[in-house]
Amino acid sequence: MSMGWVLHVDLDQFVAAVEVARRPELRGLPVVVGGSGDPTRRGVVATASYEAREFGIRSGMPLRLAAKRCPEAVFLPTDPAAYQQVSDRFMATLRRFPVVVEVLGWDEAFVGAHTDDPETLATEIREAVRSTTGLSCSVGIGDNRLRAKLATGFAKPAAPSGAPGRHSFRLTRENWAAVMAERPTDALWGIGTRTARKLAEAGLHTVAQLAGADPDELAARFGPVMGPSYRMLALGVSDTEVSAAPHVPRSHSREITFQHDLVDRSEIDRQVAALARRVAHDVATDGRPATRIAVKVRFAPFTTATHGIALAGPTSDPDEITHAALTVLERFEHDRPVRLLGVRAEFDER
């Protein structure tokens, strides 16, 4: 009987690749996509081509900083409709194979497959995707979801130092320690820079150190659920199931970046209320009541904070959601100009 494998298929530099595909003259140039495409206005990088990344440009970076790092870069506005169209072709291509496809986003999906030769399947998927979309993709092969997801990073054309970058890579229990042991903890899917910093403060700098940590000490320091879960990530433990069930968002959010910093509190309140009502409309359209409201504030120059509260009960009422958002806003220290505001409504996952 053939073995069960999890493949993680990820389109390379997706947004930038779509733009280059319809503007071939940009091939080989540093391309940055984000906001209105005007680096003199506020906005953040959605995607940078590999050529732009060589200048240190990354997703989420302010466009103005990207322009300083690479003045000769080509800046383009985002075009979500075009990206969705290509994404639909990408997912339809994956579904032609005898596999289970779980959509993770515009440009990535898990694929569950029973095969004796996952590398051949990965090659066939890559060729089919290139044929239908004109784009290249990388495929991570794993014996669970975590390892498949991480394997993709080693398969990328711009793979980490020491990685093969050969468009597909297999990461399993057998080679986990050899590949991951000496890498920093934030190389793990699910551990970000902030958590890695806290782990380092506890003397845990590498995946191997985290894997060998005492679960009780981790629980005491990071909480009874999260602490031990970090160790399980370091051991490479994860689910193996791939589900074809439609993706159901856990929240709806709206945010806005202002071209000029807001300093007037009444204007900040007005903007948060407007965002909250847009989110309430999204919640009502979704048909699931919200159970928690969060507000994000980015202060000048680039410090972001988020606070949230649980609602008294599930609701889709715009007045209640707006009131909750304004209540959360009171939790911030309003001592600096504001450059971005966001409101998020979260759902009960049960």
Neighbours of 222 (CB within 10 A): 18
Name 225's Cβ contacts closer than 8 Å, sequence gap at least 6. Answer: none
How many whole angstroms separate alpha carbon 90 and alpha carbon 80? 15
How many whole angstroms separate alpha carbon 277 and alpha carbon 274? 5
Sign of the Cα pseudo-torsion (278, 39, 18, 119, in order): negative
Paired strand residues for 31:
74
Residue 6 corresponds to which tokens in the numbers above? 């999890």
Provide the 3-class DSSP secondary structure of residue 107: coil
Are 235 and 211 spatial neighbours (Cβ–Cβ below 8 Å)?
Answer: yes
How many whole angstroms separate alpha carbon 31 and alpha carbon 37? 10
Query: Which residues are known catalytic residues?
Result: 108
Q: Which residue is listed with tokens 């204007």?
A: 267
Paired strand residues for 290:
315
Residue 37 corresponds to which tokens in the numbers above? 């495409």
Q: Transcribe 136-197 into DSSP letters.
A: -EEEEEESSHHHHHHHHHHHSTTPPTT---SSEEEE-TTTHHHHHTTSBGGGSTT--HHHHH
In the DSSP assignment, the letter for residue 235 is T
Are 256 and 279 spatial neighbours (Cβ–Cβ below 8 Å)?
Answer: no
Dihedral, CA of residue 91, residue 96, residue 97 and residue 100, to nearest 10:
50
How many whole angstroms separate alpha carbon 127 and alpha carbon 121? 10
In the DSSP assignment, the letter for residue 324 is H
